[in-house]
Structures are given as C-alpha cells and as structure tokens.
Amino acid sequence: MLHPNTELRFVNPLVGHGVFATKFIPKGTITYVDDPLEIHIPVDSPLWNHPVLGKILKVYSILENDGAYELSWDHAKHMNHCCHSNTITTGWGFDIAVRDIQSGEQIRGDYGMYNVDYDMDLVCEFTDCRKRIKKDDFDEWAARWETQILDALTFSSQVAQPLWEVMDEETRQTLERYLQTGEGYCSVRGLKYRLPQQT
Ligand SMILES: [Zn+2]
C-alpha cells in the first residue's frame, strides 16, 4: 500500500502514468508497505499465459527474492524508475523516502532493485541516466542504496508514519528493535532473487 498522500497522474505518452505526492512527504517517511493484500503469483501460474491478464502481470509485477511475483493491488504498480530516486526499497520490503518529497513531485523508485530478469531500457531526466536496467544492477548499486536507507532511517522516528499500522507485526518489531538498539538491521541485499539451489 502506498502512502495516503499520493495519487496516480498521467505523465506523458512515453512514460504513461506515475505516482505523485499530494502533500509534502518528509525524508524518513515510509512511502510503501508490502501489506497482506498484495497479490502473489507463482512463476508457474497459468495466468502468465492468459491473453489479457498475462500481459498485465508482465508489465506490473515484481520478482521477489523467494521467486514469486508480486502485483500491487493499489497504484504502487505504477511507480516509475529514476536513477536518482526519492524512495528506495529497504531490506524489510517497505519503501522509504531518502530525501524530502515536495507536494506535486513524482515518487519514484529504482528498478535495479526489482530483480528485472531482462535488460530494460529506461529514461529519466538525469544526465547520468543509466539508460538500461541490467540484471547485475543489484550488485553494482546495493552499497549506494544501503547508505541512503541507513541515512533515511535516522529520520524515521521524527516524522509521521501513516503506513505503520498496515505493516506486518514481524516487520514492525524488527524495525523497532533496530531503531531502538541499532541491532538487527535488514540489509537491502536480501531483496535480491537467488536461484534455488540445485540438489
Ligand atoms: Zn535514468
């Protein structure tokens, strides 16, 4: 579930729709929570071959580290990529604002963390745009994402967290423990999909 102060807006014919902040969202705010309503689709589901629904799955679902695909029930599935995104997905599975997001600003993530299993062309307005999402992006960029997350988490106790109550109990407890004691940090590297071990 996305932060309540967000909405879907049309960006342009090339990009399509995107998610925008309707109010100021400060750094450290949890902007997305992997809540229990999210839809999980196994890789061997017959839905992938459905003439209509299969295309929707291929465009909007994300491969998770356990090998299942996740499709958001709300407008989270319309989040676009930016090479300098204002939100990053944490190892706990929620997204956090890594800088202040102004009202009217587009909220974007980094597709490099979405376990894209093919190279994907991309566009963003930055001159150092990576141009393509590649399968090894995770290894190349994880250290930067980790630094951004650790910095944003230091602000998380000082800002309103409307998504706190939809976070599952285990995640909330481990996050609270980390924020209070500095122990039990959940690394972003855990999000990376790893092929099942051959036996
Ligand atoms: Zn870019």
Identify whether the C-beta of residue 108 lies closer than 8 Å to the C-beta of residue 79.
Answer: yes
- Tell me the CA–centroid distance for residue 35 and ligand 1, in Å: 28
Beta strands in the chain (DSSP E): 6-12, 16-21, 30-32, 39-41, 62-63, 69-71, 80-81, 87-89, 95-97, 106-109, 120-121, 132-133
pLDDT at 186: 94
Domains parsed from the chain with CATH numbers = 6-38+73-184 (2.170.270.10)
C-alpha torsion sign, points 68, 87, 95, 54: negative
For residue 131, the CA-to-ligand 1 centroid distance in Å is: 6
The pLDDT, as a whole number, for residue 197 is 56
Residue 116: HSE in the Cβ half-sphere, 13 Å Cα cutoff? 19
Residue-wise pLDDT tens digits, 114-162: 877 778 888 788 889 999 988 888 889 999 999 999 999 999 999 999 9
Whether the pLDDT of residue 106 is over 90: the answer is yes
Mean per-residue pLDDT, 109-115 = 87
pLDDT per residue over 28-59, tens digit each?
A: 999 999 999 999 999 999 999 999 999 999 99
Strands 95-97 and 30-32: antiparallel
- The pLDDT value recorded for residue 199 is 46
Ligand 1 centroid to Cα of residue 15, in Å, is: 12
In angstroms, what is the span from residue 166 Cα to ligand 1's centroid? 31
The reported pLDDT for the residue numbered 178 is 96
The DSSP call for residue 125 is S
Average pLDDT value for residue range 158-180 = 96
pLDDT value at residue 196: 59
Q: How far is the CA of 128 from the centre of ligand 1 (A)?
A: 7
- pLDDT band with cut points at 50, 70 and 90 for residue 195: low
Percent of the chain at pLDDT above 90?
Answer: 74
Beta-strand (E) ranges in 110-171?
120-121, 132-133
CB 28 within 8 A of CB 153: yes
Cβ neighbours of residue 140 closer than 8 Å, sequence gap 6 or more: 112, 134
Q: How far is the CA of 140 from the centre of ligand 1 (A)?
A: 15
Quote the CA–CA distance of 86 and 28 in Å, as a whole number.
11
Of 75, 56, 149, the closest CA to residue 110 belongs to 149
pLDDT for res 117:
74
Cα dihedral sign, 98-99-101-106: negative
Phi, psi angles (nearest 5°) of residue 148: -65, -40
Interval between CA 50 and ligand 1 midpoint (Å): 32
How far is ligand 1, taken at its centre, from the CA of residue 18, in Å?
A: 15
Q: Return the half-sphere exposure (C-beta side, CA atoms, 13 A cut-off) of residue 188.
A: 26
C-alpha 127 – ligand 1 centre gap (Å): 8
* pLDDT for the residue 34: 93
Could you read off the pLDDT of 56-104 as tens digits, one per residue?
Answer: 999 999 888 888 899 999 999 999 999 999 999 999 999 999 999 999 9
Residue 182 parent element (H or E): none
